[in-house]
A = this chain, B = another copy of it.
Amino acid sequence: MARKPLTNPRKHASQERSRATVDALIEATARILILEGFDRASTNRIAERAGVSVGSLYQYFPGKDALVAAVIDRHRQELGEVARSALQKASGQPIKQAVRTLVAAAIEAHRIDPRLHRVLAEQIPRTGRLEKVETFSRENYALFRAYLERHSDELRAVDLELASFVCVTSIEALTHSAVLHNPAMLSDDAAVKAFIDETTRLIVGYLQ
């Protein structure tokens, strides 16, 4: 069997210093994405900012896309934790309360690292190996659908498939747009409450 060229990325960083190198590279990638944008995020620049040589970069990542993908994954995991814990909390609540919980969590999630979130949403070409950004909303979608199934006695007769799509898409779009494009809309606690009230009304009114 032909052995793969040794210059390609080594699977695992076993020693501690290499672990640090990998972390530094991911962190540097995130910083550059935020500060300079996707176009200016070259491998040379990333390596330089990480205090590492390009050669080392290519020991652990097969290319630029892999770096960006790692940043996306890290960010997604953080969002995922917020989403999952919110859905767990909501699972025991009646619909109205549950929707409030989810909307509040959606805002919270979008506030984890808004600048990075914005770059990932607006500058990463969703093509080739980098299109898995949407996988995330599929997950939320399935989880929300499961909630609706368990609480179907509280709602009007709905097509679960369609209803989940409508709710998740709307909540995601509203919070995303509010946090990233209309920050004034969430400028203080009162405004945030008003936003949550309205979004909750939208969703609950639709489901019941």
Q: Which residues of B contact A37 (CB under 8 A)?
A: 125, 127
Is A157 among interface residues, defined by CB-CB distance under 8 A? no
Bound state CA distance, A198 and B206, in angstroms?
8
Q: Mark A130-158, 1 if CB is under 8 A from B, else 0.
A: 00001000000000000000000000000
With both beta carbons as reference points, the residue of chain B lying nearest to A181 in the complex is identified as: B134
Q: Which residues of B contact A173 (CB under 8 A)?
A: 169-170, 172-174
Is A60 among interface residues, defined by CB-CB distance under 8 A? no
Instruction: Work out how many copies of this chain go into the complex.
Output: 2
Chain A count of residues within 8 A CB distance of the other chain = 32
CB of A125 within 8 A of CB of B39, answer yes
CB within 8 Å for A162 and B202 given contacts A123-B127, A170-B173: no
Q: Which residues of B contact A201 (CB under 8 A)?
A: 206
Q: Which residues of B contact A177 (CB under 8 A)?
A: 165, 169
Most chain B CB neighbours (cut-off 10 Å) among A38, A122, A181, A194? A122
CB distance from A106 to the nearest CB of B (A): 13
Q: Mark A60-84, 1 if CB is under 8 A from B, else 0.
A: 0000000000000000000000000
Bound state CA distance, A42 and B121, in angstroms?
23
CB distance from A196 to the nearest CB of B (A): 11
A-B contact pairs, 26 of them (CB 8 A): A37-B125, A38-B125, A122-B125, A122-B126, A123-B125, A123-B127, A125-B125, A159-B194, A159-B198, A162-B185, A162-B194, A165-B177, A165-B178, A165-B182, A165-B185, A166-B202, A169-B170, A169-B177, A170-B170, A173-B173, A198-B206, A202-B202, A202-B205, A202-B206, A205-B206, A206-B206
